[in-house]
Amino acid sequence: MINNRTSGILLHPTSLPGPFGAGDLGTNAYLFVDWLAGAGQSYWQVLPLGEIGPGNSPYMSISAFAGNVLLIDLYELLHQGWLVEEDMQPLAKFRHDRVDFALQGPFRIERLRHAAKRFFADNDAALHAAYTEFCMAEGEWLDDYARFMTIAEQQEGRHWNLWPEALANRDAQALRFLEAISAEQIDFWKFCQWCFSRQWMQLKHYANERGVKLIGDVPIFVAYQSADVWAHRELFELDDAGLPTVVAGVPPDYFSKTGQLWGNPLYRWDLHEQTGYIWWIRRLQHALRSFDQVRIDHFRGFASYWEVPAHETTAMNGRWMPGPGAKLFEAFENAFLNLPIIAEDLGVITQDVVELRDKFKLPGMRILQFAFAEGHSNYFLPHNYIPNTIAYTGTHDNDTMRGWWNTASEHEKDFVRHYLGKDKVDVPWDMISSLSASVANTVIFPMQDMLCLSGEHRMNYPGSAEGNWEWRFSWEQVQPWQTIKLAKITAAQGRSRLAHEGL
């Protein structure tokens, strides 16, 4: 449950400024924390920080535990002496406003390899001890991740079920042989995860010291091509050949007339229950070390989930199946002192989803863009909120607020004018103000809305496989008046310490 009135910004680190084709955990991340604190914001919410998958999606990670190595700050590696100045020359084709994953990925991996070689050749006893300690502490997932990444690279990206049989089936002798002949590659991936972990925890400490908490994002499902499925295939709905029999998705909804076919393998919840949900407990433990709160994506899948036969080409011909329900969250309650979890309860929400959320006092989500197509009883209108709520103008899956307004129907625009009591609406600021004035204890605004950006700056188009996750901002776009206005709104609604400083 969330009790304090707070405000925050949604921004993925890849959207930060920086010289190497995408934002990372370097200087600009710290500057962003400083900006958040100066604007009276209490939260920085990010998308999943795991390795990206198909379509560059952070929601299709190849590990539920590993961090995205492309976020590693190369300048920190230079400072450590593991990179040299000639490594730091950006490519001329790098863009400041969009991420070109095809360019920046190989660029960063090449430099990480240089850094790993210098680190392992160095004899700094303290740093090597820290690395060894990390590998031992995280070995339960790290060893399988490093093996998986090494084999996947050697197999040129082929899915794990197409690897040589002994490796696909994790034959002990085959894995020992792999570790003997590919020790350098395996160590490289472990080194990258150590660097990511060090840098992320340093950033988290910096943010927390300045009164900014971090909200992470935990996708409910994992990708088929992942270390998790390869290492724990018994926990997933797979056939004898290791292929999914059914996959995840959602039925037709607001975003898609044919539903969304995500393709993730589904869990064998009966097996998870038999283990006391230990894999999920370890996953949440890992997330709560990295974040102050976590949003669990597609929370409704714990009550019931949409199961689609693996051969289908759309999500239309699926069926609802019961999820683990309260049993999983009772296991969480037994494992943790509290549950700082946000339930992403959007989509087709039935009474069992509401009951599960409320039984464990988890805050749900409200999206302002969904509010104006119906009457005053609409669930997403601010006057219908409850305090234990996280309210957003929009999420990464929505258009920007200005983009939404530019494409909204006249009915919706008239409803907005009537609701706000204004003939002329200042978009997005009137929306930000209305949301901030609501009883929702936490409000979150995408950075695009704070910058008043139009629809071409949105982060993701659900159902579209290309062109997503690429948006970046520049500091030149952040005008002082915007920062001051956000700070004043936040303070006026009692959502920050600035409320007591006379702004």
User: Around Cβ 157, how many Cβ atoms within 10 Å?
Assistant: 8
Q: Which of 100, 179, 292, 397 is catalytic?
A: 397
Give me the DSSP letters along 319-332: EEEE--THHHHHHH
User: Around Cβ 485, how many Cβ atoms within 10 Å?
Assistant: 16
Look up residue 398 and give its amino acid. N
Q: Which of 228, 297, 345, 399 is catalytic?
A: 297
CB-based contact 297:222 (threshold 8 Å): no
Q: Which of 344, 399, 449, 470 is catalytic?
A: 344
Is 156 marked active-site? no
User: Around Cβ 503, how many Cβ atoms within 10 Å?
Assistant: 14
Here the tokens at position 326 are: 């309260």
The H-assigned helical ranges of 248-290 are 269-274, 278-290
Residue 365: strand, helix, or coil: strand
CB-based contact 117:145 (threshold 8 Å): no
Q: Which residues contact 350 (CB under 8 A, 6 or more apart)?
A: 300, 303, 304
Q: Which residue from 283, 278, 391 is spatially nearest to 342, judged by alpha carbons?
A: 391
Is 253 marked active-site? no
The phi, psi pair for 174, rounded to 5°, reads -65, -40
Is 397 marked active-site? yes
297 DSSP 8-state letter: T
Residues acting as catalytic residues: 297, 344, 397
